[in-house]
Amino acid sequence: MTATSATGATEGFRAARDFLLQHREDYETAYEGFAWPRPDRFNWALDWFDVIAEGNDRTALHLVEEDGTETKVSFAEMSRRSDRVANWLRARGVRAGDRIIVMLGNQVELWETVLAAMKLRAVVIPATPLLGPADLRDRVDRGRARHVIARAEDTVKFDDVPGGYTRIAVGGDGVDWLAYEHAADESEVFTPDGATLADDTLMLYFTSGTTARPKLVEHTHTSYPVGHLSTMYWIGLKPGDVHLNISSPGWAKHAWSNLFAPWNAEATV
């Protein structure tokens, strides 16, 4: 587990979250009395997720595949998994501020990777697996990506995407790609190498590009993690709930309702 414990930022976040839970059925009071927590330093993965995950065997993530097979990961296990991935990525050269294209489906590795990147203060560029080589060239170039994590079956799409970025494959080795599965051999003890400022960049989303070239939209370590307390309230999530959201990875709604809102509430994704 990460060498971390509840901080002032944790308690400020918890107080705001609990106020919304307390007034779940009283919108006027919630609207009038709610105040956004505004910490100077905040890392949602360390200051919130790892704190609620300590010793917590309740299910954080429940995946059901088309063939009926199921995977359940507890909060405590997700914390440990993300620590191992963070240690492994750091050993592969991932540093604070580095930009990582994450092109995965709804699979355990997606949630592990986002938490791990957050702990490293790296920047996540979410990408749908539907993207082709032309889109990926644009994302690597304009996103200034230094690392790519993709499903093994999608690695061929990067054959014509130039750049000196680290290539990491999930689900089997691609040619000249590192195998993500080796992260499981890393230590579960993770030590952050620096403080996370609240306005440090956390995610860079590319817009859909419906009418022009896709644009990059920046989100910080507070804008999504703290901002989606509102989504938690609007959806009505409470601790112990199970929430199904059908958004695909790569779209912003996936972060809102498959990551931050339910785990803000200590609910199951």
Domain that holds residue 80: 8-264
pLDDT band, very low/low/confident/very high, at 173 (cuts 50, 70, 90): low
Query: Which residues on adjacent β-strands are paired with residue 74?
Result: 59
pLDDT band, very low/low/confident/very high, at 221 (cuts 50, 70, 90): very high
Arithmetic mean of pLDDT, 135-152: 96
Arithmetic mean of pLDDT, 241-263: 95
SS3 57: coil
Report the pLDDT value the prediction gives residue 69, as an integer from 0 to 100.
95
Arithmetic mean of pLDDT, 103-123: 98
Report the pLDDT value the prediction gives residue 212, as an integer from 0 to 100.
78
Is there a domain that residue 138 lies in?
yes
Arithmetic mean of pLDDT, 76-94: 98
Q: Spell out where the chain has E strands.
A: 59-64, 70-74, 99-103, 123-126, 147-151, 166-170, 178-179, 201-206, 216-220
Q: What are phi and psi of 16, to 5 degrees?
A: -65, -45
Q: What is the mean pLDDT of the chain?
A: 94
Arithmetic mean of pLDDT, 229-255: 95
Pair 59, 268: CB distance under 8 Å:
yes
Number of domains in the chain: 1
- Given a cut of 80, is residue 209 above it in pLDDT? no
Is there a domain that residue 1 lies in?
no
Whole-angstrom distance, CA of residue 39 vs CA of residue 181: 35
Distances 164 to 45, 147, 182 between C-alpha atoms, Å? 28, 9, 21
Report the pLDDT value the prediction gives residue 4, as an integer from 0 to 100.
55
Report the pLDDT value the prediction gives residue 213, as an integer from 0 to 100.
84
CA atoms within 13 A on the CB side of 227: 13
Distances 71 to 1, 46, 67, 83 between C-alpha atoms, Å? 21, 24, 12, 19
Instruction: Please state the pTM of the whole predicted model.
Output: 0.95
Report the pLDDT value the prediction gives residue 62, as an integer from 0 to 100.
98
Is there a domain that residue 30 lies in?
yes
Is there a domain that residue 240 lies in?
yes
Arithmetic mean of pLDDT, 144-171: 96
Residue with tokens 């360390």: 46
| Cα dihedral across residues 205, 122, 43, 88: positive or negative | positive
Neighbours of 2 (CB within 10 A): 24
Q: Per residue in 30-43, pLDDT tens? A: 999 999 999 999 99
- Residues of the chain with pLDDT > 70: what percent? 97
Is there a domain that residue 176 lies in?
yes
Is there a domain that residue 3 lies in?
no
Q: What is the DSSP string of 238-266?
A: -TT-B----PPTTSHHHHIIIIIHHHHTT
Report the pLDDT value the prediction gives residue 47, as an integer from 0 to 100.
97
Is there a domain that residue 2 lies in?
no
CATH code, domain with 42? 3.40.50.12780
- Given a cut of 90, is residue 210 above it in pLDDT? no
Whole-angstrom distance, CA of residue 238 vs CA of residue 56: 16
Is there a domain that residue 269 lies in?
no
Write down how long the chain is: 269
